[in-house]
Homo-oligomer: A and B are copies of this chain.
Amino acid sequence: MTAIAHPYLLFLGDAPDALSAKTADGVARWRPEWCVGQLRLPDCNADLGLPDRTLEEAAALGARTLLIGVANRGGRIAAAWQDTMLRALDLGFDLAAGLHQRLADLPAVKARADERGRAIHDVRHPSRGFDIGTGARRTGKRLLTVGTDCSVGKMYTALALEREMRARGLNADFRATGQTGILIAGDGVSVDAVVSDFVAGAVEWLTPENDPDHWDVVEGQASVLHPSYAGVTLGLVHGSQPDAMVLCHEPTRRHMRGLPHRPVPGIEETIAAHVAAARVTNPDARVIGLSINTAGLTAAEADCVLRDTADAFGLPTVDPLRTGAGPLVDALQDL
């Protein structure tokens, strides 16, 4: 895909609650320097704490893309958003969204974008073809976040790693593999929407040969032990041929996402499964640390869980939002 132009104006539409605007929230949290403000319709109940801007104000501040940062049930585009999108195109904005339904499938929006020469980025849908993967070793280094389940912090962990690595002057790039990650990175591939034959090849394309000291920090998806999505994960593991993996876990999770009767596999079993998978394309692959999402715990509980987990597995263990990713980067630098 073509990179998405920034700065962004984050459109929250008529979001009924904060959770509906979590895409925008992720962008505001990880790329505040790209966000000139938020645009909310009168009945919006979400608030990112950014300045409210009209389209005209945002354009005057240099915003180049209106980012649809709100998700309806089913990923549909609300009719109420269309006037804003059309006016944004008139004012010279591109549009970007990670919804299941494509902005480009709205005839009025597509026609206006064509007329104005503006781009529409439907990031959930791959906009190019990919070659079949080969598994051939590439120069440069790669880290992949993996996990015991979906939605346990793989994207946040990868972004925290990139931030910490860059702060230390390391040569690192976050590589996005899902829609929110793509809006944060400005490009990437939504691997779960790639035809199955091409997933590994898409990830090889996303993490190409690079300088020997360069790290791709690749956003993981799901788990090789998740019965719904493991094929996506395995293609991602093989395609990224990771030198290092960080295993992400959410200790309060009672069952695998979407599967009420299926317990979350343990950390040890999950490490073994991902290391075995990764060694198919990188014999040196290893898990170098753990990232625990302690959002559901008190500070004291979180401290205890992080310490106990570190002791149990003998690996640096962080919650990137609570403790930062420093110990993981220490381990990477020791590799």
Cross-chain contact A196 with B235 (CB below 8 angstroms) = yes
Say how far A131's CB is from chain B's closest CB, in angstroms: 9
Cross-chain contact B197 with A195 (CB below 8 angstroms) = no
In the complex, whether A262 has a CB less than 8 A from a CB of chain B is: yes
Cross-chain contact B232 with A238 (CB below 8 angstroms) = no
A: interface residue count bin: 35 or more
Binds B, one of A17-25, A273-281, A297-305: A273-281
Count of this chain's copies in the oligomeric assembly:
2
Binds B, one of A58-66, A108-116, A221-229: A221-229
In the complex, whether A135 has a CB less than 8 A from a CB of chain B is: yes
Cross-chain contact A199 with B200 (CB below 8 angstroms) = no
- Sample of 22 A–B contacts (CB below 8 Å): A132-B228, A132-B229, A133-B228, A134-B258, A134-B259, A135-B227, A135-B262, A136-B261, A191-B196, A192-B195, A192-B196, A193-B196, A195-B196, A196-B199, A196-B231, A196-B235, A199-B231, A224-B234, A227-B280, A227-B281, A230-B234, A230-B238
Residues of chain A having any CB pair with chain B under 8 Å: 132-136, 191-197, 199-201, 224-225, 227-236, 238, 258-259, 261-262, 273, 276-277, 280-281
